[in-house]
Amino acid sequence: MSSHAGTIDHHHDPSTSTGIPNKKLLMWTFLASDCMFFGALISTHLIYRLHPMPDAPSPKNIFSLELTSFSTFILLMSSLMMALAVTAIQKGNIKSMRWSILTTIFFGSIFLGCQVYEFQEFVEIKKMTITNSMLGTTFFTLTGTHGTHVAIGVLWLILMYVRSFQPPEAGRNAAWFIRHAVHILVIIGAILLAIFSTLALVHTLHTGGSVGAFFGGHFAMLAGLLACIAAGIFLARPTGPVNFGEANAIDVESMGLYWHFVDIVWIVIFTAVYLLEYL
Amino acid sequence: MRLSSLLTSTARWGRAGFALGALALLSGCDYNFWRMDGHQSTITVAGPVARSQLEVFYVTCWVTLVIFILVGGVLAYATLKFRAKNEAEEKAVPPEQGHGNPLIELGLIGASVLALVIIAIPTLKGIWYTYDVPEDRKADTYEITATGYQWWFKFEYPSEQIAGTGALTTGNELVIPAGRPVRINIRTIDVIHSFWVPKLAGKVDMMPNRANFLWLQADEPGYFWGQCAEYCGDSHAVMRFRVIALSPKDFADWVAQQTSPARNVTPKPGEETPKAQFASLRTFKQNETGITDKYEIAPLEAWKAKQFPEKGENAALIAQGKALFASKTCASCHEVRGHGAAGISGPNLTHIGARSMLAAGLIENNAEQLRRWIRDPGSVKPGNKMAKGYLDNNIKLTNEEEVALVAYLQSLK
Amino acid sequence: MEAILKSDLHAKDTHAPAKSAIFWRPTAQTGLISWLTTVDHKKIGFLYGVFALFFFLVGGFEALLIRLQLMYPNGTVLTAQQYNTMFTMHGTTMIFLAVMPLSAAFFNFIMPLQIGARDVAFPRLNAFSLWTFVAGAIVINLGWFMHDGAPDGGWVGYAPLTSKTFAPDHSIDMWVMGLQLLGVASIAASLNFIVTIINLRAPGMTMMRLPVFTWMTLITAFLIVLSFPFITIALVELMMDRLFGTSFFEVSNGGMPILWQHLFWVFGHPEVYILILPAMGIVSEILPTFSRKPLFGYPIVVFSGASIGFLGFSVWSHHMFTTGMGTMATAAFSLATMAIAVPTGVKIFNWIGTLWGGHISMRTPMMFALGFVWMFMIGGFSGVMHSAAPADAQQQDSYFVIAHFHYVLIGGSLFALLAGIHYWFPLMFGRKVSEFWGKLSFWVIFAGFNITFFPMHFLGLNGMPRRTFTYDANLGWNAANYIATIGALILGVGIFIYFAVMVYTFLKGEKVGKDVWDARTLEWSLPNPPPEYNYRVIPTVHARDAYWYNKQHKEEIAQEEAEHAKAEAAHGGIHMPHQSIYPFVASLGLFIASIGIAVIDHDPSPGFWGKKIGLSMIGGVVMLAGIYFWALEGNEGYHLHPDDEGHAPADKKAAQH
């Protein structure tokens, strides 16, 4: 039924009273709840910002606006890719959707990598930990919570991407199940290894090492990364009909709502936590 | 019908039973609880702040009572009038299926808003009046700082500086001048407490990292009961205090006495040392009351009597107690100004003998109760730091030591 | 074609396989497995009810111990620490584990029936909410069986009393994690209810035709969704302080404990309406039914409910009048609190208007509902007294407040919930409580309740602070405390009668037919107990009191139904979701993980597993596995084809194939 492109009205679901798909309504309501969640955390940060201790560190000396601006830009671009993924699946174009989702995952991972780098720098170089100042307490809790949201979003994107290879019901046997799980783990592995090897590269360069020294010192990690990517490409080869198409547009769209929301929250955080200090 | 008649008779008997029970109960009681004239009454008030709060309460009370009678009357009437008397009536043709009347609704909304305006006006006035001392009285205001500890109160008098040690500090008994506004800075050292002397003023919380204050004034000299009103841990219920309002002259005398160092009792030449009785102390029940009627009949007079030395003081025993106070590590937490004890984590005991109550307003300051307290503070006030200090420092007092310490502390007038 | 379909009642949807190679498709209709795997909103509602009533009895027992301790001055029934534990657990239990889930039981059981739906929008999410609630309830109560004891920080858990410095043991951690689970459960359930009410209404069931109970469910769900994040954040911050040494409430590092109070009450005040709005909804169903008249001023009742919900977010600081907020803030919150009395009063006027001119039958549910109106009025009026901040300075944290909120929560919420149990019992179980025993329990509960709590007004005005384990005999509190304890014992007897009668009725009560009260809303058009698919034919709604209208227009409705039945059969019958164990697995994972987090050792000595984070990681893996399988098994189901009488005798067998 759903294999013909353009037969589904993506703006009206006749099976519900309002025409809004249930999943979309659920997601909107959840996001309203999440708004309050971040609202409370951001308020906590702003309240304590107004009541600093006498020996409080100055945020300007700690933040690196260049890095954060970059990661903010990357996250915004990921939203663009997410929107393209939704449009693609609404037209029934699975291949295009997969590429858009992979790019979204890639950008999301860059954002997470930047955050890991930033946290590490704050703790080890700027000496701001979660315990030693109120700024550290509110900053790490707030941005950490946001980072967790992004990580959950990336995980969701991975699951959706792998799901788009799901065969029709008849083909869902044990072999498929294992393949499915391995596919997910391979992508997670690739992301983690990519983040950590990039960080290691940056660290090597910072400490005066050469690129060659980096390759020598992190051979296993890089080999693992390559293996994961290869496995990911292998598992993504076409293997017959899939049970994923235009009818699943609502699933991708709900996920997109979440992703855009997390993005918007980051813009608020970027303004309230970082930019506010430079006014 | 059998059911309904049974119900009615049950109800009749029930009512009679309750009336009887209530009578039997109240005849054996000292108080008619609806009079609400206890020591911590918010109804029989003794100062302008509490009076202002009471007036607002009365306004709310009367307005809501009138509404209650009106609405309740209509509700009761409707219930009785439109009640189906029997099954036939229940099964009768349903009444008109009306959906309401917007005019009645709007009228009632308007009336409710009006009633609330009647409450709102004195409320707003009261909020500003009770917040801080009125401008024209500011010059006359006496300032005190109250600090909550788990589970006692420290009172500091910034205007009474003592050379070398700073402001006059007392514990658990707040002495104020009567007829004068008193502005109390409300602080805490640990968790949240709340400062409440119902007859003088409503409560204000002692919040960490927050400079709260309240003001109060006692119309006449008097002895007032106060209590912590915010749950603050194990012994919250027994974190009490007293406020003693004195006439200007008495207050000046009291300040003069308090600002002097701790009293020394030396044997008069030729005086025979009376032999001390080292009877062992009786055991007390859990939570046993430790206050005698003295403070029911004439509390202010009883308090004033405490300002003078006890009869039959035993100077040798007091000296022994003074030594024990240092050797049993009491001095590491308590200050006795002039006797070398300078601890700050417990109440200042420089003039402990002149206070009417012990253990934060919990038990009366007499030899028996004082001994009960220093023997086993944990049983009087669960979880308190003194009991923990005993454990940590492995302190056990003999009968003799207890009596000596009691004699010493009682001599600190 | 139709004949073939009908003859083959067992036929499954051709798109769904008989069984899955990977996923467990439990089909048990009875026994433990059926309860653990159910996705039927009625069964889930029933389970909510059972758990809620169990915890209600636990909380009631704690209350009796509290009252026995205070019966005489200097009571010795409990120690100070036990007493503090008792009132903490009493408050937490009654609010989060008794009244809220009991409301949720009605939301689950009744609301989908009232809007003419066959289930909630997300049946498995519903099961997940239930099991997560149970997990949270267990975690909170685990302290009773642990060395550290149950929590004793008060149900409001004010920092810094709950910080590591002043509460170093794990009981507070258990409380924190348990409440977090309850938050997850409540938010998930509410999201489900919101989508269900907005999207699953039967044709013709416009928003302004929704039964008032469903309206109040919707508003309550919105309140939960919007207010619970605040307590979640407050608890996260407290947990971070306790586990990772952050400084949110650490005074020495600049933490401000007043922040806890603000976050807590931004949640806590809407929570009050979360407890009372469902009760108002229930009463708004019962009064019209037993007056045989529509609700007076339906739109105004609905809008007042909505404005209560809205204003409920702007009055939280009236719990903090004594924290020294300054004159402007105090005045603003004072006036806002007074304003909220208007929509509340409007509801009472409308209930009286409903009675006016009706044929009131004094059945047991009606007695409880009228008791609710009276008691809620008293509680509301003492609430107005609190709104006047200067008067509240004396009443705050005194027994006057205890009296006030018990009038609102017992006299209000609980009376209405007990009324609701009586009212819907015939629909749920096909049996009816005897009028005599029902009314007897009402009068004993009513008397006991008033004897317990009315004297507390006097105690509060006479200066007795709350949360005190002992008091001296010289303060004029003896008689009122004694009477209150006697009242509590009477109340206990009343509750015992109520439950004994309920259990008896459940087993052996008088059997009744459909629509025993001659009621007005759609759920009464169902046979009792309702079949698992609820409506054989999705009803079409023509008026506000839909079933009442149907009863007046029997022939047209019968004709319409027959047509729709044909159409539905042609579309493949009634779609039923598969049962699933995975929501339970996900909740189990959360349960393990939260215990793991709660027992993490504070001391920084090395070590990773055991009391460090090992247990929470195991829990996390179990939870992820549950969610993963849940997502992969998909939301397929099977189809039922009940016959004309609504019987589908073979459908149980069908599910077992």
Give the closest residue to C317 by CA, choosing from B127, B117, B63, B151.
B127
Structure tokens at B360: 């934060």
Beta carbons of A70 and A115 less than 8 angstroms apart: no
pLDDT means per 10 residues, chain C with 657 residues, are 34 45 76 90 95 95 95 90 94 95 95 93 94 95 86 91 89 92 96 95 93 96 96 94 89 91 94 95 95 91 93 93 92 94 92 91 93 95 93 94 95 95 94 92 96 94 93 89 94 95 92 90 91 89 91 88 82 84 94 89 56 82 92 80 56 38
Nearest to B38 among C327, C392, C477 (CB): C477
Cα–Cα dist A265/A271, whole Å:
10
- Helix B102-131 and helix B48-81, axial crossing angle in degrees, nearest 10: 160
Residue C249, phi then psi, degrees to nearest 5: -120, 20
Q: Which chains touch A (3 or more CB pairs under 8 A)?
A: C
Test mutation, A29, A178, A185, chain C, max C CBs within 10 A = A29
- pLDDT for B88 equals 75
- Sign, CA dihedral C134-C135-C140-C145, equals positive
Task: Report the residue of A15, A18, A22, A132 to disrupt the C interface, i.e. the one with the largest count of C CBs within 10 Å.
Answer: A22
Closest CA to B380 of B284, B300, B250, B304: B284
Question: C16 to chain B nearest CA, in Å?
Answer: 48
Look at B285 and C74 and tell me if their CB atoms are within 8 Å: yes
Phi/psi of residue B345, nearest 5 degrees: -80, -15
**Cβ–Cβ < 8 Å for C146, C171:** yes
Q: In what order do the strands lie in the sheet containing B173-177?
A: B173-177, B240-246, B222-228, B193-197, B201-206
| B258 contacts C489 by C-beta, under 8 angstroms | no
10 Å CB burial of residue C221 (0-12, 13-18, 19+) is buried
Nearest to C566 by CA among C536, C542, C546: C536
Q: What is the CATH number of the domain that holds C295?
A: 1.20.210.10
Q: What is the reported pLDDT for A104?
A: 96
* Contacts C172 to B, Cβ<8 Å: none
User: Hey, what are C159's tokens?
Assistant: 């920092």
In chain C, which residues have their Cβ closer than 8 Å to the Cβ of B26? 479
Binary contact (A16, C234; C-beta < 8 A): no
Q: Is C322 within 8 Å of B205 when comparing Cβ atoms?
A: yes
| ipTM attached to this prediction | 0.92
Q: From the list C199, C227, C244, which residue is nearest A130 (CB)?
A: C244
Contacts of A55 in chain C (CB under 8 A): none
Query: How many interchain CB pairs under 8 A, A with C?
Result: 118
Q: What is the DSSP letter of C412?
A: I
Asked if B375 contacts B402 with a C-beta cutoff of 8 angstroms, the reply is: yes
> Are the C-beta atoms of C247 and A141 separated by less than 8 Å?
no
Chain B: closest CA distance from residue C479 (Å) = 6
Superfamily covering domain A22-52+60-164+244-278: Cytochrome c oxidase, subunit III, four-helix bundle (1.20.120.80)
Q: Does B224 touch chain C (CB under 8 A)?
A: no
In three state form, how does the secondary structure of C165-184 look?
CCCCCCHHHHHHHHHHHHHH
Residue C516 lies in a domain: yes
* Nearest to C354, CA basis, from C266, C443, C280: C280
Q: Which of the two residues, A274 and B310, has the higher pLDDT score?
A: A274
Quote the CA–CA distance of A263 and A254 in Å, as a whole number: 14
Q: Is C394 on the interface with B (CB under 8 A)?
A: yes
Q: Is residue C338 part of a domain?
A: yes
User: Residue A42: what pLDDT?
Assistant: 95
Cβ contact, residue pair B289, C73, below 8 Å? yes
* Count of other CB atoms within 10 angstroms of residue C512: 16
C133 touches C183 (CB < 8 A):
no
Q: Is residue C649 part of a domain?
A: no
H-helix or E-strand spanning residue C305: helix C298-311
d(CA C627, CA C621): 10
Is any Cβ of chain A less than 8 angstroms from the Cβ of C18?
no
| C-alpha span between A11 and A4 (Å, rounded) | 17
Q: What are phi and psi of C501, to 5 degrees?
A: -65, -40
Q: Give residues with Cβ within 8 angstroms of B25, minimum separation 6.
A: C479, C482, C483, C486
Q: Is C227 on the interface with A (CB under 8 A)?
A: yes
Nearest CA in chain B to C338: B116
**Contact predicate C128/B201, CB 8 Å:** no
CB C334 to CB B52 under 8 A?
A: no
Name residue, tokens 């949240």. Answer: B192
Task: Report the C-alpha gap between B72 and C202 in whole angstroms.
Answer: 39
How close C133 gets to chain B, by Cα (Å)?
28
Q: How far apart are CA B47 and CA B219, in angstroms?
A: 5
Helix (H) or strand (E) holding C653: helix C651-656
- What value does the CA radius of gyration of chain C take, rounded to a whole number of Å? 25
Q: Which of C66, C99, C56 is nearest to C498 (CA)?
A: C56
Cβ C256–A159 below 8 Å, yes or no? no
Asked if B56 lies within 8 A of C341 by C-beta distance, the reply is no
Whether residue B195 lies within 8 A of chain C, CB to CB, comes out as no
E-assigned strands of C86-234? none
User: Which residues of chain B neighbour C75 with C-beta distances below 8 Å?
Assistant: 287
Mind telling me how many Å the CA of C161 is from chain A's nearest CA? 20
- The amino acid that residue B112 corresponds to is S
CB contact under 8 A, B116 and C338: yes
Residue type, C549: Y
* Residues of chain C contacting residue A131, judged by C-beta atoms under 8 Å apart: 244-247
Q: Reply yes or no on whether the pLDDT at A145 is more than 90.
A: yes
For the record, the structure tokens of C3 come out as 């004949």
Domain assignment of residue C272, yes or no? yes
Q: Measure the CA–CA gap between C490 and C497, rounded to whole angstroms.
A: 11
Task: For residues C589 and C642, give the distance between their C-alpha atoms in angstroms, rounded to a whole number.
Answer: 38
Selected for mutation to probe chain C from B77, B86, B207 (highest C CB count within 10 Å) is: B207
Interface of B with C in 281-310 (CB under 8 A): 285-289, 291, 295-296
Amino acid identity, residue C375? M
Exposed, middle or buried: residue B40 (CB in 10 Å: 0-12, 13-18, 19+)? Answer: buried
**pLDDT tens digits for chain B (413 residues)?**
344 444 455 555 555 555 555 554 444 454 577 778 889 999 999 999 999 999 999 999 999 999 999 999 999 999 999 988 877 777 777 777 777 788 888 899 999 999 999 999 999 999 999 999 999 999 999 999 999 999 999 999 999 999 888 899 999 999 999 999 999 999 999 999 999 999 999 999 999 989 999 999 999 999 999 999 999 999 999 999 999 999 999 999 999 999 998 888 887 766 666 666 677 778 888 888 888 888 888 899 999 999 988 888 888 888 889 999 999 889 999 999 888 888 889 999 999 999 999 999 999 999 889 999 999 898 899 888 999 989 988 888 888 889 999 999 999 98
The answer to whether B135 and C385 have CB atoms below 8 angstroms apart is no
CA distance to partner chain C, nearest, from residue B227 (Å): 8
Interhelix angle C100-114/C415-429, nearest 10 degrees: 50
Interface residue B62 vs chain C (CB under 8 A): no
Q: Which of B1, B96, B108, B241 to mutate to test the interface with C (most CBs of C within 10 A)?
A: B108
Contact criterion met (CB below 8 Å) for B151 and B239:
yes
Report how far residue B255's alpha carbon sits from residue C22's, in angstroms, rounded to the nearest whole number.
Answer: 85
C80 and chain A: CB distance < 8 Å anywhere? Answer: no
Res C603: pLDDT: 60
Q: Which residues have CB under 8 Å from C88's CB, separation 6+?
A: C150, C151, C152, C153, C154, C155, C175
Alpha carbons within 13 angstroms on the beta-carbon side of residue B185 total 15
Among the partner residues C121, C233, C631, nearest to A40 by beta-carbon distance: C233
Express the helix, strand and coil content of chain A in percent, nearest 5 each.
75, 0, 25
- The full DSSP string for B271-297 is PPPPPPP-PPPPP--TT--B--THHHH
Task: Give the orientation angle of helix A22-50 with respect to helix C171-199, to 10 degrees.
Answer: 140
* pLDDT for A98 beyond 70: yes
Nearest by Cα to B148 from B215, B241, B62: B241
Q: What is the pLDDT of residues B76-91, one digit of tens each?
A: 999 999 988 877 777 7
Q: Give the whole-angstrom CA distance, residue C632 versus residue A152.
A: 17
Q: Flag whether C588 is in a domain.
A: no
Q: Determine whether the interchain pair C338/B119 forms a contact, defined as Cβ–Cβ distance below 8 Å.
A: yes
- What whole-number distance in Å separates Cα of residue B203 and Cα of residue C465? 11
User: How near does any CA of chain C get to the CA of A166, in Å?
Assistant: 9
State the total domains in chain C: 1
What band does A1 get if pLDDT is binned at 50, 70 and 90?
very low
Asked if omega into C465 is within 30° of 0 (cis), the reply is no
CB-based contact (8 Å) between C204 and chain A? no
Question: Residue A240 has what DSSP assignment?
Answer: S
The per-residue b/e assignment along C336-356, b for 16 or more CB within 10 angstroms, e otherwise, is: bbbbbbbbbbbbbbbbbbbbb
Answer yes or no: are the C-beta atoms of A258 and A156 closer than 8 Å.
Answer: yes
Contact C331 B127 (CB under 8 A): yes
Q: How far is C265 from chain B (nearest CA, A)?
A: 16
SS3 at position B154: strand
Closest to B70 (Cα-Cα) out of B110, B34, B112: B112
Strand (E) or helix (H) holding C59: helix C41-70
User: Nearest Cβ partner of A131 from C192, C205, C245?
Assistant: C245
CA A198 – CA A211 distance, rounded (Å): 11
Q: For residue C412, what are the domain limits?
A: 52-535
**Pairing of β B166-171 and β B201-206:** unpaired
Residue B24's Cβ-count burial label (10 Å; 0-12, 13-18, 19+) is exposed
- C259 part of contact set with chain A, CB < 8 Å: yes
Separation in Å, CA of C226 to nearest CA in chain A: 5
Q: Do the Cβ atoms of A32 and C255 come within 8 Å?
A: no
Q: In chain C, what residues touch B210 (CB-CB under 8 Å)?
A: 256, 258, 323-324
* A257 vs A35: CA distance, rounded Å: 13
**Domains defined for chain B, CATH in brackets:** 30-84+102-258 (2.60.40.420), 261-265+289-413 (2.60.40.420)
Interface of A to C at Cβ within 8 Å reads 16-18, 20, 22, 25-26, 29-30, 32-34, 36-37, 39-41, 44, 47-48, 51-53, 56, 130-131, 133-134, 136-138, 140-141, 145, 159, 163, 169-170, 172-174, 177, 180
